[in-house]
Amino acid sequence: MQAFFNHPPPDGSADTALEDVLIDLLAQAAPGAEIRAAWYTFSRRRMARAFVEAAERGVDVRFVLGNTNVQAGCVDWDAVADLKAGLGADHVTVCRPCADGGGCIGDGINHNKFMTVSRLLDGSTDVVMQSSANLTNPQLHQHNNLVVIRGDAALHAAYRAYWEDLRRQRRDLDYYHIEDGADGRRVYFYPRASGDTVVSIIGNTDCAAGARIRVAMAFFTNARLEVARALADARRAGCRVTALLREEPPTYPGDDVLATLRAGGVTVRLFPVVGERSIHSKYLLIDGQYAGSQRRLVWTGSHNYTGPALRGNDETLLRLEDDAVFAAYEADFAAIEAAIRALP
């Protein structure tokens, strides 16, 4: 398991680090293997070429995309047109194309950013790639993360089955379910009709023992005020809580969210959108007593702290338990915090 991050520089130039990881993975896909990919938005022709080149080597490449990848008149973006031309239109499913809203399963959007690869040239099998980044130009200027997991057959099967459900496009606003992989990995699939996964996660943390909670979040709206309250309650109970949030008034973060976090003593640092530069990652780190034992956990994926991410969107949230991966996310968190402090 490996974690990767991009760190867009202050001068506004692009950082293609995560794309480079994806391109290397695609180049390593073995002939006869299968790739299944699901993305919200896809405008990067460089990435379309990499997927098509894998198909030309004999890899079975298939896509599920959100329905917003179009120009006026429902004309595909160039990168999507490239995928359809290179893979075959029947290998690219666009969920409810050109409709006003509607994901593949939920009634919001297909907000996913993941890929599975059955086999690589180095002998690796059951590969899962989960990212926070869309394959679009603005994402090269925003802080994102990506994790690659190899050899976890149960996790690969869970993602693979979810991809098939996305492709089938059967509406289910109570689709939410949880699947376990190896070594403490767990994946949560949305939409969820009731309850809030993140509130439950925070509630499992023993703050009396001084656990540390860190959040890096692109979008945190008043619709998820219960999450803000849970974080504030955790701080009052003894947890050390820091939140790095994208600032894009008047919506992100919500006024009630900010007021609740600050009233509870949570350390909040805002990363304003400067040009296209800001936070697009969505992760939660917990270091301490969790569910009865000392653990270091990462939750990452496509899931923002918004109402649609919980109730209407097709989303994936992935839990990871690995000291090296946790340390990598800690370092990224520190880098984002330093970038915020360096802003004029």
Q: Which domains does the chain have, with CATH numbers?
A: 2-172 (3.30.870.10), 189-341 (3.30.870.10)
Residue with tokens 């329905």: 67
Contacts of 238 (CB under 8 A, 6+ apart): 207, 208, 209, 210, 211
H helices present in the chain, as ranges:
17-28, 45-56, 78-87, 153-168, 197-203, 225-236, 255-263, 307-311, 323-341
Residuewise pLDDT in 10s, the chain (344 residues): 999 999 999 998 999 999 999 999 999 999 999 999 999 999 999 999 999 999 999 999 999 999 999 998 889 999 999 999 999 999 999 999 887 668 999 999 999 999 999 999 999 999 999 999 999 999 999 999 999 999 999 999 999 999 999 999 999 999 999 999 999 999 999 999 999 999 999 999 999 989 999 999 999 999 999 999 999 999 999 999 999 999 999 999 999 999 999 999 999 999 999 889 999 999 999 999 999 999 999 999 999 999 999 999 999 999 999 999 999 999 999 999 999 999 98
Residue with tokens 């070429």: 49
Residue with tokens 């690995």: 322
Comparing CA positions, the residue from 194, 205, 197 lying closest to residue 178 is: 197
User: Between vectors from CA 46 to CA 44 and to CA 47, what angle results, nearest 5°?
Assistant: 70
Comparing CA positions, the residue from 245, 252, 176, 251 lying closest to residue 217 is: 245
Please provide the size of the chain in residues: 344
Q: How far apart are the first and last CA of the chain?
A: 37
CA–CA separation, 146 and 307 (whole Å)? 24
Q: Which DSSP helix (H) or strand (E) runs through 71?
A: strand 70-71
Q: Are 62 and 91 in contact (CB under 8 A)?
A: yes
8 phi and psi angles, rounded to 5 deg:
-60, 130
Distance of CA 323 to the CA centre of its chain: 20
Comparing CA positions, the residue from 191, 147, 130, 187 lying closest to residue 166 is: 191
Long-range contacts of 97-103 (CB under 8 A, 24+ apart): 97/67, 97/70, 98/67, 98/70, 98/74, 99/67, 102/67, 103/66, 103/312, 103/313, 103/314
CA–CA separation, 165 and 217 (whole Å)? 27
